[in-house]
Structure 1
Amino acid sequence: MPTSNKLAVIGGGAAGFFAAINAARLNPNLNVTIFEKSREVLSKVRISGGGRCNVTHHCFDPEIMSKAYPRGSRELRWAFEQFQPTDTVSWFEDRGVELKTESDGRMFPTTDDSATIINCLKEEANHHDVDVHTRHRVETITRRSDKKFELSIKNKKSQIFDAVVIATGGSNRRSTYKWLEDLGHSIVEPVPSLFTFNFKENIFKDLSGISIENGSVSIAGTSYQHEGPILITHWGLSGPAVLKTSAWAARYLYDQNYDFTIQVNWLHPLNSQEVQQKLKKLRDTNARKTAQKQDTFPIPNRLWNRFLELADIDPKIRWAELSNENIHHLTEQLTNASYDIEGKTTYKEEFVTSGGIPLDEVNMGTMESKKISNLYFAGEVLNIDGITGGYNFQSAWTTGWIAAQHIGGE
């Protein structure tokens, strides 16, 4: 970005702040301004991880890390060579913020408070004289004849900048991207990427909150299948196994209008044959006990009784009285249950979108537009999305960092 001294960053989220802070840090002569349309910056950081902020994921191998992204995997593989989770950890630790790793690999501040991350970013912005303007909605960007950018801001005076970083995040509305199309970029149709599955007939509604530590979820008629914890909600199913499946199948499920069938193995990695053998052994060893009593499978009692009912088995019948047909039906409920899905629910308030600026229109080594010089992109406005677990924040830090290196280093 030669001869440039005024940088506008549009979007006051993780990617926008990281790009702004690091560009200003690298080039003290650079005047950096963040424009955020809402009244609060870093709102997604605040709610992430139940208010604890899932900063990144404890995976320090760029190749393995990149495989957590249904969209952007190939491009991020090399981007992570420049800035990956170990760099994120170091960046925050250098500023007095310690991170910790939980059993599933998610990384949080040791304070378990997202305010720790927010305060760190705000303090850094203040330290490097980054101006932050909230309630400033940029409506259009015009490339002038002198190659500068004129930003039209709702109910405010237009401003002129030498370079611009677009870090507005994802949106499920195509109209949100129109101003970027007007600049000359194309848009990959935006669709939700991280969501829970709603049952057509909710047979588990009264069991909301019950979870299984190890299950698998697959979409009937496809190769989409993922393992992990499964959580029963008021409307259907959630948990990592469901969320990972929703991310990878996002565009397929959009095309299906979210009307599809899933198969669930509640006892993964056990298969049907293994479960059937264990049930027959229970029939022998627990012969005089009722079917509602079992200590073989890690399934809560209330959910176990529901599986018995779905298999047309009276919970009060004795194990010895179960026929081979009963065992077969119960095995199916436990390892190959089919549920019709009709609709989705966004995962908490952590909205993630598939779609946005196509990656082939961006130089992923600098995050600069291939169409317009001195125009950069960072974060979810790009057609990048990861599964749950800190991956989406990491791509925000990485793309923001790379843009900053190119802008501030020149």
Structure 2
Amino acid sequence: MKVAIIGGGAAGFFTAISCKTHNPGAEVVILEKSDKLLAKVKISGGGRCNVSHACFHIPTLVKFYPRGEKQLKKAFGFFNTKDTVKWFEERGVLLKTETDNRMFPVTDNSQTIIDCLLNETRRLGIEIRKRSTVSSIQNGSDSFELMVNREPFIADKVVIATGGSPKLEGFNWLRQLGHRIEPPVPSLFTFNMPQESIRSLMGLVADPVTIRIQGTKLESTGPLLVTHWGMSGPAALRLSAFGARILNDLNYQFKVQINWLGSIKEEEARQLLNELSENIGNRKVTNKNPFQLPSRLWMFLLEKVNIDQQVSWNNLGKKNLNRLLNVLLNDVYQVSGKTTFKEEFVTCGGVSLENVSMRTMESNKCPGLYFAGEVLDIDGVTGGFNFQAAWTTGFIAGKLSSHMN
């Protein structure tokens, strides 16, 4: 029994380990085209590796996946966040949960996760071949013939764990085997705002804000990060994921509307400002920020609506008050383009989930061929969800590919 796993990333390693664990007699080989293993694991979470997310209720967990929500419900029934925590703990890697529910190794070092996965492959006797490019797969009657570095390689089962591809051509070899490919477009990207002066506040975090994309139903609430390019942080990244196809169709030219007060509505905000004017009316608007906004942001917004920094609250006037309320609740910025960080590239798109059984991860177009990870049309928002999908699909694909039909 020989199983070839194409791809030496998180999903590929987890598949291989699951495969060998469930069938110790199987010969399991990881084929990685580059000379780097677990490259995304290394850089994830700023080098700390965001292993998963502390959401243990499956119906809630699947809501974090713009693509794959319905199908993952089945898959998480076999292996979910609880299982991930237990799996790593049993191998001596303790995870911790941060205030935003992201989970990291207690060492705060992605090398801990890499070492754990490499140690498991060594312990189980899994072969790893780097610089091994698979150029084609031929499906025989009871086996597969892969061309690896122009040499034939025969396997009983094959698992594809090659990750996402930014271009449709990257999936041609899988289309040739009869699979439908959902065209890849970027997910999880920064909103570029080259014409907007708010970029001068780079490094500033406002939390919570509600951000909407004008002309669509897309809306997100959470922390927003102002960057050198424009806007990022969980609130913007979540929108980029759920709106991946819509924003691609708009050619990344659109307007965002921001409520800097999060979920506070106009009536409540107006009442707060009126009370402030009555109680401390003689203080300057620059010295008293009623909504606990970052001071740099407060000053920026006052300047944006031309409110004199020397004016006191009781001299603000109705016109200025309305302008201030409008910029706090309905601030608008033009987005022109995106920035995707190549190393952490996440795609919306890949092998259609209609072609895959989520109970086994086996192709229904090509029996004996399995899929795991981002090669599938599954992607999550930022916060450990993409790794959780990799562990889950890898576990199932490894388990079910490890036995002869």
TM-score (norm. length: structure 2): 0.97
Whole-angstrom CA distance in 1 between matches of 2:280 and 2:195 = 33
Residue 342 of structure 1 pairs with residue 341 of structure 2:
no
Residue 16 of structure 1 pairs with residue 16 of structure 2:
no
Whole-angstrom CA distance in 2 between matches of 1:202 and 1:130 = 52
Whole-angstrom CA distance in 1 between matches of 2:340 and 2:292 = 28
Q: Secondary structure, in 3 states, of the residue corresponding to 1:363?
A: coil
Pair 360,320 (structure 1): closer, same or farther in 2 beyond 3 Å: same
Whole-angstrom CA distance in 2 between matches of 1:141 and 1:173 = 20
Deviations 1:28-82 (A, max 9, x none): 1111111111111101011111111110111111111111101000000111010
Whole-angstrom CA distance in 2 between matches of 1:276 and 1:133 = 65
Whole-angstrom CA distance in 1 between matches of 2:29 and 2:310 = 68
1:164 to 158, 161, 179: 158
Residue 399 of structure 1 pairs with residue 393 of structure 2:
yes
Report if aligned partners of 1:283, 1:319 keep a CA contact under 8 Å in 2: yes
Q: In structure 1, what is the equivalent of residue 102 of structure 2?
A: 106
Q: In structure 2, what is the equivalent of residue 34 of structure 1?
A: 30
Q: In structure 2, what is the equivalent of residue 77 of structure 1?
A: 73
Runs of 4+ in 1 over 6 A off after TM superposition: none
Question: What amino acid maps onto 1:247 in structure 2?
Answer: A
Report if aligned partners of 1:62, 1:78 keep a CA contact under 8 Å in 2: no
* Superposition deviation, residue 157 in structure 1: 2.0
Whole-angstrom CA distance in 1 between matches of 2:352 and 2:102 = 28
Q: What are structure 2's unaligned runs of at least 5 residues?
A: none
Residue 189 of structure 1 pairs with residue 183 of structure 2:
yes
Question: What amino acid maps onto 1:109 in structure 2?
Answer: P
Deviations 1:79-110 (A, max 9, x none): 10100000000001110110111111111101
* Superposition deviation, residue 409 in structure 1: 4.8
Instruction: Output aligned runs, 1:130-141, within 5 Å.
Output: 130-141=126-137
Deviations 1:92-132 (A, max 9, x none): 11101101111111111011110000000000011111111
Residue 329 of structure 1 pairs with residue 323 of structure 2:
yes
Instruction: Output aligned runs, 1:36-185, within 5 Å.
Output: 36-144=32-140, 146-154=141-149, 156-185=150-179
1:230 to 210, 224, 227: 224
Report if aligned partners of 2:68, 2:377 keep a CA contact under 8 Å in 1: yes
Share of identical aligned residues, percent? 49
Question: What amino acid maps onto 1:17 in structure 2?
Answer: F
Report if aligned partners of 2:289, 2:298 keep a CA contact under 8 Å in 1: no
Whole-angstrom CA distance in 2 between matches of 1:266 and 1:361 = 43
Deviations 1:131-182 (A, max 9, x none): 11111121111113x432111123x522111110000001211111111112
Q: What are structure 1's unaligned runs of at least 5 residues?
A: none
Whole-angstrom CA distance in 2 between matches of 1:238 and 1:298 = 21
TM-score (norm. length: structure 1): 0.96
Q: In structure 2, what is the equivalent of residue 381 of structure 1?
A: 375
Whole-angstrom CA distance in 2 between matches of 1:86 and 1:353 = 26
